[in-house]
């Protein structure tokens, strides 16, 4: 009887792991052919039609560097809300900044603002239960995304990694930051992370709101609509942009395809800030092909200061072909590098929650803001250059001559690459 029960339990565990780890949709299997560059009208057309949503003009995107700029801007927007706040995030822990956000959201709810907070269950598992109770008692509608229940347990591996804050349907924020004290400060030491976030106004904020609504409706069954959430939005700036999202429940390969299209269309330069860089074979081939046709490629990843050594080891195992193709790889030294930014040909800038790995491309719910504007791209390239100056270049010789123990360790970590 005991053996039968153990056998049954092991079978159920195997089924659970298989359902959790297997891809939800068929993956892209063929390298894209290059038929246009980023400067061609067809590139923007394909980004807005093949991938969607449409690229809209008239936006203003402001860059915010590190917690000292990011958190005050977000909190000021929350405290100034008149009608609605919609907030979706992966990391929401305790600490001083978590307390400030909880207090600000609760205060607005008590003032009559409709406040909706969507937290990933795994990412917010460290959150103080008292903070959740306090927000709910104040009238904040808090939803935990994919909270484990026995009849939906296979969804636990699918997380919302999106970072979205929209206030009154008019001002949006997105980028890489989580709500935890690690993001406070100005990346001044290894206790304070380096990250970038963005404040957005203009027509694209409506798309940001729609991305939030996608997961809110999936989680609650409720549809939030009307002018309080989707007000008329006038042109306020010079930038063309789109808010691009992906999810395993619909278009899990969309983000992967967007990155491949951008790399394939590159003509001159690719600058990539990648907080978690574990590229698959298609992405490696696309980057190598770009380098071989003369595209100058530089990639910054975290160094020893990283919150997941396993990711760094798996990443190292995949650098060989990139370095041989002349791609420059560098590891940021001062602190954890959590920036997620792609700059192509001084024109396209893609920022948001997406990491350059299979988890972001196929497993998690992600959202990126794509901006097509040369002045904005030049600003982001200057920021990249500042980060590059604080990174240590890893040469092909150094990579090939690392100790055999490191090579074995990296290859073992690489076995879990599809889940990282």
Task: For residue 153, count other CB atoms closer than 10 A to its CB.
Answer: 13
Reference 279, options 360, 158, 366, 390; nearest CA is 360
Please provide the DSSP assignment of 325-375 as one string.
Answer: TT-EEEEE-SS-B--EEEEETTTEEEEES--EEHIIIIISBEEEEEEE-HH
CB atoms within 10 A of CB 205: 27
Catalytic residue among 168, 195, 280, 373: 168
Q: State the Cα–Cα distance between residues 263 and 266, nearest whole angstrom.
A: 5
Q: Residue 94 above 90 pLDDT?
A: no
Which residue is listed with tokens 């700059």? Answer: 343
DSSP state of 252: T
Average pLDDT over residues 242-250: 83
pLDDT digits (tens, 9 = 90+) for 168-188: 999 999 999 999 999 999 999
Give the pLDDT score at 11. Answer: 47
**Confidence at residue 153, expressed as pLDDT on a 0 to 100 scale:** 54
**pLDDT for residue 32 is more than 70:** yes
Distances (CA, A) of 307 to 87, 186, 336, 415: 24, 18, 7, 19
Contact 374, 349 (CB under 8 A): no
Mean pLDDT for 55-62 is 98
pLDDT averaged over every residue in the chain: 90
Q: Three-state SS for 260?
A: helix
Break the chain down into helix, strand, coil percent, rounded to 5. 40, 25, 35
Which residue did the predictor score with more confidence, 13 or 90?
90
The pLDDT tens digits of the residues spanning 291-309 come to 999 999 999 999 999 999 9
pLDDT at 419 > cutoff 80: no
Question: Is 192 a known active-site residue?
Answer: no
Q: What is the pLDDT of residue 191?
A: 94
Catalytic annotation present for 309: no
Q: Catalytic residue at 168?
A: yes
Mean pLDDT of 83-101: 94
Q: How many CB atoms within 10 Å of residue 309?
A: 11
| pLDDT for residue 15 | 42
| Three-state DSSP class for residue 244 | strand
Region of poorest pLDDT, from 77-86, 109-118, 213-222, 383-392 = 213-222
Catalytic residue among 120, 195, 338, 410: 338
| Angle ∠(383,388,394) on CA atoms, nearest 5 | 160
Which tens digit of pLDDT belongs to each residue from 123-154? Answer: 888 888 889 999 999 999 999 886 655 555 55
Among the listed ranges 104-108, 199-203, 250-254, which one has the minimum average pLDDT value? 250-254
Is residue 163 among the annotated active site residues? Answer: yes
Lowest mean pLDDT: which of 57-66, 243-252, 339-348?
243-252
**Local confidence band at 210 (pLDDT 50, 70, 90 cut-offs):** very high
Tell if the pTM clears 0.85, that is, is over it: yes
- Vertex 88 angle, CA 224 and 308, to 5°: 160
Residue 161 falls in the annotated catalytic set: yes
Collect all residues with Cβ–Cβ distance below 8 Å to 419 and sequence separation of at least 6. Answer: 21, 157, 358, 359, 363
What is the average pLDDT across 193-214?
A: 97
The percent of residues in the chain predicted with pLDDT above 70, rounded, is 89
pLDDT score for 19: 45
d(C-alpha 229, C-alpha 275), whole Å: 32
Exactly one of 120, 280, 340, 373 is catalytic; name it.
340
What is the CATH number that goes with domain 27-419?
3.30.870.10
151 is written with which tokens?
């009849």
Nearest to 194 by CA among 386, 365, 370: 386
Active-site residue (options: 116, 146, 161, 170): 161
Decide: 258 and 244 in contact? Cβ < 8 Å: yes
What pLDDT, in 10s, does the model give residues 305-363? 999 999 999 999 999 999 999 999 999 999 999 999 999 999 999 999 999 888 888 88
Using pLDDT thresholds of 50, 70 and 90, give the confidence band for residue 252. Answer: low
Domain map (residue ranges) of the chain: 27-419
Is residue 307 flagged as an active site residue?
no
From residue 156, alpha-carbon distances to 145, 150, 159, 213 in Å are 9, 10, 7, 20
> How far from the centroid of its chain's Cα atoms is residue 96's Cα?
23
Cβ contacts of residue 403 below 8 Å, gap of 6+?
Answer: none
- Looking at residue 21, its pLDDT comes to 47
Q: Please tell me the predicted confidence (pLDDT) of residue 360.
A: 85
């Amino acid at each position: 009887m005991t053996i039968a029960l153990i056998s049954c339990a092991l079978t159920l565990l195997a089924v659970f792991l298989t359902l959790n780890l297997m891809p939800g949709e068929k993956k892209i299997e063929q390298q894209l052919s290059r038929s246009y560059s980023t400067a061609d009208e067809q590139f923007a057309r394909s980004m807005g039609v093949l991938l969607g949503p449409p690229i809209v003009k008239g936006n203003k995107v402001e860059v915010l560097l590190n917690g000292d700029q990011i958190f005050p801007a977000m909190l000021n927007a929350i405290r100034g809300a008149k009608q609605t706040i919609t907030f979706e995030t992966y990391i929401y822990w305790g600490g001083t900044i978590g307390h400030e956000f909880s207090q600000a959201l609760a205060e607005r709810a008590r003032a009559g603002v409709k406040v909706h907070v969507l937290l990933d269950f795994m990412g917010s598992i460290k959150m103080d239960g008292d903070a959740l109770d306090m927000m709910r008692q104040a009238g904040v509608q808090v939803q935990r995304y994919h909270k484990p229940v026995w009849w939906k347990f296979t969804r636990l591996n699918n997380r919302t990694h999106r970072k979205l804050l929209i206030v009154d349907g008019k001002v949006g924020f997105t980028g890489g930051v989580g709500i935890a004290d690690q993001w406070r400060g100005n990346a001044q030491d290894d206790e304070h992370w380096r990250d970038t976030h963005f404040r957005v106004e203009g027509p694209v904020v409506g798309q940001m709101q729609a991305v939030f609504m996608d997961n809110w409706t999936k989680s609650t069954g409720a549809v939030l609509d009307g002018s309080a959430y989707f007000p008329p939005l006038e042109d306020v700036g010079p930038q063309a942009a789109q808010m691009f999202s992906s999810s395993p429940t619909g278009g899990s390969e969309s983000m992967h395809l967007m990155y491949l299209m951008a790399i394939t269309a590159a003509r001159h330069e690719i600058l990539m800030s990648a907080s978690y860089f574990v590229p698959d074979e298609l992405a490696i081939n696309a980057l190598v092909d770009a380098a071989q046709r003369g595209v100058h490629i530089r990639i910054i990843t975290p160094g020893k200061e990283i919150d997941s050594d396993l990711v760094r080891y798996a990443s190292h195992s995949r650098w060989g072909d990139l370095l041989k193709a002349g791609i420059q790889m560098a590891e940021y030294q001062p602190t954890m590098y959590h920036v997620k930014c792609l700059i192509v040909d001084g024109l396209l800038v893609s920022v948001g929650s997406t990491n350059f790995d299979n988890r972001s491309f196929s497993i998690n719910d992600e959202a990126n803001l794509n901006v097509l504007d040369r002045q904005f791209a030049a600003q982001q390239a200057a920021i990249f250059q500042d980060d590059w100056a604080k990174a240590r270049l890893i040469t092909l010789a150094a990579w090939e001559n690392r100790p055999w123990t490191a090579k074995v360790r990296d290859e073992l970590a690489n076995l879990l690459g599809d889940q990282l």
